[in-house]
Amino acid sequence: MGRIVGSFGVQGWLKVKAFTESEDGLGGYGSWIVRTREGWRAMELEGFDVHSKGPVAKLAGCDDREAADALRACDVAVTREMLGDAGEGSMYWVDLVGLDVVDASGRSLGRVEGLFEAGDTSVLVVKGDSETMIPFVPEYVKSVDRDAGRITVEWKDA
């Protein structure tokens, strides 16, 4: 959901690059899971603010510039449970990973391995016999049935 990009000041505050819809999106979670060099670690969020140059955060146990610098380039996540419901007509990428992808005739194209942004469009990375990248737009994605674990697409292999 974000990445720590550096220190901010001398009291352990961190500059953060948020991958959320808004810059303050990470500030609403009481704890973060940070991927340190030793592995993923839960850290309590003590403070959060959005400055003119972007979001900054203060994590428990990160009390000086040296500690903040040690977290530079670490990824930030939250648990799926913390995200809650995406709301009507919306979904989180994490809910799409692992779903089967079939074409309109029911032929399997593989499973969603991940997604990425390409300009204004999200792209499904589908792995089956080969890797296929399908833009996540209504022209190609016809339905998503999370209960059945399936995405139906209008897609012709080249």
H-helix segments, the chain: 65-70, 80-83
pLDDT at position 158 over 60: no
Section 120-147 average pLDDT: 92
pLDDT band with cut points at 50, 70 and 90 for residue 39: very high
Determine the Cα–Cα distance for residues 85 and 150; give it in Å rounded to an integer: 19
In-domain check, residue 85: no
Give pLDDT, residue 83: 82
Taking a C-beta distance cutoff of 8 angstroms, is the pair 82, 29 a contact? Answer: yes
Give pLDDT, residue 82: 86
In-domain check, residue 84: no
33 shares its domain with 97: no
107 shares its domain with 139: yes
CA dihedral angle for residue 47, residue 49, residue 51, residue 55, rounded to 10 degrees: 90
Domain's final residue, options 17, 45, 79: 79
The pair phi, psi for residue 93, each rounded to 5°, is -55, -40
Give pLDDT, residue 23: 86
In-domain check, residue 20: yes
Give pLDDT, residue 53: 86
Secondary structure (3-state) at 129: coil
What total number of domains does the chain contain? Answer: 2
20 shares its domain with 74: yes
Q: What is the pLDDT of residues 78-112, one digit of tens each?
A: 988 888 777 777 777 888 999 999 998 999 999 99
8 shares its domain with 66: yes
Domain's final residue, options 45, 79, 113: 79
Least confidently predicted of 31-35, 43-47, 109-113, 119-123 = 119-123
Record the pTM: 0.67
Q: Minimal CA–CA distance to 31: which of 59, 6, 56, 50?
A: 59
pLDDT at position 153 over 80: yes
CATH number at residue 101: 2.30.30.240
CATH number at residue 41: 2.40.30.60
Give pLDDT, residue 63: 96
In-domain check, residue 118: yes
Q: What is the pLDDT of residues 42-76, one digit of tens each?
A: 999 999 999 988 999 999 999 999 999 999 999 99
64 shares its domain with 123: no
Determine the Cα–Cα distance for residues 21 and 130; give it in Å rounded to an integer: 31
Domain's final residue, options 79, 104, 134: 79
In-domain check, residue 15: yes
6 shares its domain with 75: yes
Q: What is the pLDDT of residues 141-150, one digit of tens each?
A: 999 998 899 9
Q: 13 lies in which domain range?
A: 2-79
